[in-house]
Amino acid sequence: MISKSPKVYTGEDVFDKVLEDIVHLLLEPGMLISENKMGRDFQVSRSVIRSAFGRLRQMGFIDILPQRGSYVSKIDANYIEDLLFLQSAIEKEAVNDILWNLSEQEQKVMIGELEAQLSQQKIFAQEGGSYPEFMRLHREFHRKIMEKAKRQRVMDIVGDNLLHLERYRHFEIAHTHITEYLLRENAEMIEVLQSRDFAFAVKKMNEHRDREVHLSRKLIEQYG
């Protein structure tokens, strides 16, 4: 039997894997991460590890402290608040575009698609469900809204920054029953679209944002 050659990792592989582990909290906020250990784990040189760490530092996911080492960055409550405001502002504009530009029939079709998405989310939110799958469906729910507004590229433009928000979502899941809140938020988003009333939409979405900001500050202060 011919044995398989061990996987050869590239610098991009290292970067992607460490970023994924940080976002999914396998590498926890404040954790010391060793260049030497990473080099052994991936069987690459320290220069490759340093390059990956440098990129992660630029993105705000790693703090490199001279003579002390590299640490996974803590979750910054102020930055999360800014991202929640940014996400809310983007989605309000998307909803406005949908209400102005989609026909009533097109909006009904979209709402049907979102309701089907929400039903799937409820399955994975149940006890023993898959949180990663729930979060994937949650992201798809909001991406569909951007697609219907023909603004999906906006999310790609701010994508790296929103990875910090995704990390915070995993942090929420670890410390609260956030799936219940997100399900309610998405149900209210459908209600907003059904109303076809932009003033009502702004009011509800501002309420969502303010609740999330309050919760994020409370959680990060207590557990972060």
Instruction: Evaluate whether residue 2 is within a structural domain.
Output: no
Q: Give this prediction's pTM.
A: 0.85
43, 72, 101 — which closes off a domain?
Answer: 72
Instruction: Indicate if the alpha-carbon torsion angle 67, 47, 167, 170 is positive or negative.
Output: negative
Q: How far apart are CA 83 and CA 159, in angstroms?
A: 11
> What percent of the chain is predicted at pLDDT more than 70?
96
Q: Comparing C-alpha atoms, which of 161, 171, 167 is closest to residue 59? A: 161
CATH number of the domain bearing residue 164: 1.20.120.530
pLDDT at 111 over 70: yes
Number of domains in the chain: 2
Residues 112, 167 share a domain? yes
Check whether residue 129 and residue 209 sit in a common domain.
yes
Distance CA 110, CA 146 (A): 11
AA identity, residue 34: S
Q: CA-CA distance, 132 to 126, in Å (whole number)?
A: 13
Structural domain range at position 83: 77-223
| Contact between 198 and 49 (Cβ < 8 Å) | no
Question: Are 96 and 205 members of one domain?
Answer: yes
Whether 3 is covered by a domain: the verdict is: no
Q: Which of 47, 72, 97 delimits the end of a domain?
A: 72
Q: How confident is the model at residue 130 (pLDDT cuts 50, 70, 90)?
A: confident
Helices 104-125 and 178-195, interaxial angle, to 10°?
Answer: 170
The predicted-structure confidence for 151-194, as pLDDT tens digits, reads as follows 988 888 888 898 999 999 889 888 887 788 889 999 999 999 99
Task: For residue 59, give the nearest of 23, 28, 25 by alpha carbon.
Answer: 23
> Is residue 1, in this structure, part of any structural domain at all?
no
Residue 52 and residue 145 in one domain: no
Residue 84 lies inside a defined structural domain of this protein: yes
Place of tokens 């990875």: 163
Residue 24 shares a structural domain with residue 66: yes
